[in-house]
Amino acid sequence: MDKIKIIEGGIFVDYRGRISHVNSLNMNEIERFYIIHQSDTSVVRAWHAHQFEKKWFYVVKGSFTTAFVKIDNWEKPSLDLKPEVYQLTATDSRILYVPEGYANGIKANEPDSILLVYSNKILSVALNDSWRYDKNMWMDWDVKDVNYKLIDTQRIIDYITSFPKGISVESIIQNSGADKLRVYPALFELEQSGWLEVLEREELGAPSVVRKRI
């Protein structure tokens, strides 16, 4: 049986706007899609399992905590099964592939987050392969373990990478999607690590134009 895996995509940005893609996705198996609009971050959608249905998850807006459990007994699964947890954000432009045999659960990390889900089964078939378990099994959804610093740093990295000749810090603050208060600390850490090159600085030394080090 397949394993859960990430299918990497990318984001292209220029003066016209932004294009997010996952060009390496093979869509031969996909039969349908649906979109989940999650306005409330307290709502948990779990657990919904499928013996034969595969799914592909892509965040259109915001971010989600997603978790998946490999079911060992469909009528009475073990209580000590360990979930595989993934943080997905719109700024990553990547797809999470989940093969058949798993229960899935999702929770929005940000209000008004949007999740696109592809399936390899038409609806009539999927409805006959639907197993539901209590959301409190296997995982404490109330634990606040989302690393927003890591998420924002990745947003900043993705945005800077889209401008190989350099981009202003003001543009990063306004358009990267990262928390504005995290931008300068993240730039400092990226420069110290050798990933970031500062092209211009302000009078007091703060970076004003940066790029990914070549």
| 2, 34, 41, 5 alpha-carbon torsion, rounded to 10° | 20
Encoding tokens for residue 125? 């078939």
pLDDT value of position 145: 55
* Dihedral sign computed on CA atoms, order 125, 127, 132, 138: positive
Contact, 49 vs 71, CB < 8 A?
Answer: yes
Encoding tokens for residue 74? 């469909």
Cα–Cα distance measured from residue 177 to residue 122, given in angstroms and rounded to the nearest whole number: 35
Average pLDDT rounded to a whole number, residues 138-161: 80
pLDDT value of position 75: 95
84-93, 112-121, 142-151: the lowest-pLDDT one? 142-151
Cα–Cα distances (Å) from 71 to 52, 192, 210, in that order, read: 12, 44, 47
pLDDT band at 18 (very low <50, low <70, confident <90, very high): confident
State pLDDT tens for residues 24-57. 999 999 999 999 999 999 999 999 999 999 999 9
CATH code at 148-212 = 1.10.10.10
pLDDT band at 144 (very low <50, low <70, confident <90, very high): low
| Mean pLDDT rounded to a whole number for the chain | 91
CATH 3.40.50.2300 assigned to 5-132:
no
Percent of the chain past pLDDT 70, that is, above it, reads 97
On the question of pLDDT at 212 being above 70, the answer is yes
State pLDDT tens for residues 102-143. 999 999 998 999 999 999 999 999 999 999 999 999 998 886
Contacts 24+ apart (CB under 8 A), 75-83: 77/103, 77/133, 77/137, 79/137, 79/138, 81/138, 82/138, 83/138, 83/139
Going from N- to C-terminal start, the domains of the chain cover 5-132, 148-212
pLDDT value of position 32: 97
Cα–Cα distance measured from residue 46 to residue 196, given in angstroms and rounded to the nearest whole number: 40
